[in-house]
Amino acid sequence: MSVAETLKKRISIRAFLDTPVDAATVHALLDDARWSPSGGNLQPWKVIAVAGTEKAALERLAVEAIMTNPKGQVGDYPIYPEGLQDPYRARRYKIGEDMYALLGIPREDKGARLKWMSRNYQFFGAPVGLFFVIDKEMGNGQWAHLGMFMQSIALLATERGLGTCMQEAWGMARDSLHQHFGLADNEVLYCGMALGYPDANATVNSLRSERAPVDEFARFRGF
C-alpha cells in the first residue's frame, strides 16, 4: 500500500472484532512510529498502552468520572474552542449528523445519542487502548508533533490491517486517568486511541468523512 493509499484507507473505526492484539504487535507499531519527526527532535510523546483487566478498569473509571461530572474533566484542554465558528462548526455538525443518520439515531433521541457516545469509553470494543501523554511545559509546536506521532501510529496500524479511532473523548476523564496512571504533576493526558481489528460488517465503519478541496485551504504564491 502506498503512503497515499494508506492515508485514504485510514478512517476512524468505531466497531472492532474481539480478535486480540498482542503486546508485541503494539510494541512493533510504536517502534516504527517513533521515527516520526519532531522539532529539535524532542520526541515529546509518551504512550500508555492498555489491554485486558487494565482496560476494563479504565472503562469503569470513565463511567464513574463522567457520571460525577457530566461536563467532563477537560481542565485547560477543552476538546473544541469555545464558540466554534464556520467553516469548522459546520464540519463538526456534518460529521456528527452523518454518523447518527447512518446509525438511524434521530436528533431528538438524545438518550440514544448519549448511549452511542458512551461507547467511546469502551474503546468501541477494541481490545487495546492507547493513551497519549505530554509534559505540560510543552508548547503548541510539541502538541503538533505529538499529533504527527499519533497519525504515524494510525497509518502503520492501517498498513497491518488494524484499525484505530483517536479519542479526545477520554479527556472528559482526564483527572481520574491522571490519578489512575500516577502521572507526574507536569504531565497531561491528551487523548486516547482505540486499536484493534475493524469489524467490516458494522454499519458505523461505513461512515466516510468529507474533506474540503485544496483550493479552500491552500494559497499558491509565486509559482
Ligand X SMILES: Cc1cc2nc3c(=O)[nH]c(=O)nc-3n(C[C@H](O)[C@H](O)[C@H](O)COP(=O)(O)O)c2cc1C
Residues 15, 196 contacting (CB under 8 angstroms)? no
Instruction: Give the C-alpha distances (Å, rounded to integers) separating 58 from 61, 126, 128, 150.
Output: 5, 13, 12, 20
194 strand-pairing partners:
129, 165
Instruction: State the nearest-atom distance from the C-beta of 203 to ligand X, in Å.
Output: 14
Binding residue (CB under 6 A) for ligand X from 28, 106, 209, 212: 209
Binding residue (CB under 6 A) for ligand X from 153, 162, 165, 195: 165
Contacts of 77 (CB under 8 A, 6+ apart): 171, 174, 188, 190
The answer to whether 47 contacts ligand X (rule: CB under 6 A) is no
Instruction: State the nearest-atom distance from the C-beta of 91 to ligand X, in Å.
Output: 8
Binding residue (CB under 6 A) for ligand X from 30, 48, 74, 95: 95
Q: Which three cell numbers stand for residue 75?
A: 481542565
Binding residue (CB under 6 A) for ligand X from 12, 73, 142, 158: 12
Residue nearest to ligand X (CB): 169
Cβ proximity to ligand X: between 23 and 101 the closer is 101
Cβ proximity to ligand X: between 14 and 178 the closer is 14
Burial of 74 (0-12, 13-18, 19+ CB in 10 A): middle
Distance CA 34, CA 145 (A): 11
Binding residue (CB under 6 A) for ligand X from 32, 54, 59, 168: 168
Instruction: State the nearest-atom distance from the C-beta of 223 to ligand X, in Å.
Output: 29
Cell 474533506: give the residue. 211
Instruction: State the nearest-atom distance from the C-beta of 24 to ligand X, in Å.
Output: 26
Binding residue (CB under 6 A) for ligand X from 169, 173, 177, 189: 169
The answer to whether 120 contacts ligand X (rule: CB under 6 A) is yes
Strand order in the sheet with 187-196: 46-51, 128-135, 187-196, 163-167
What one-character DSSP code corresponds to residue 70? T
Say if residue 81 is preceded by a cis peptide, omega within 30 of 0: no
Cβ proximity to ligand X: between 120 and 220 the closer is 120
Cβ proximity to ligand X: between 23 and 90 the closer is 90
The answer to whether 166 contacts ligand X (rule: CB under 6 A) is yes
Q: Which residues bind ligand X (CB under 6 A)?
A: 11-12, 14, 95, 120, 165-169, 191, 209
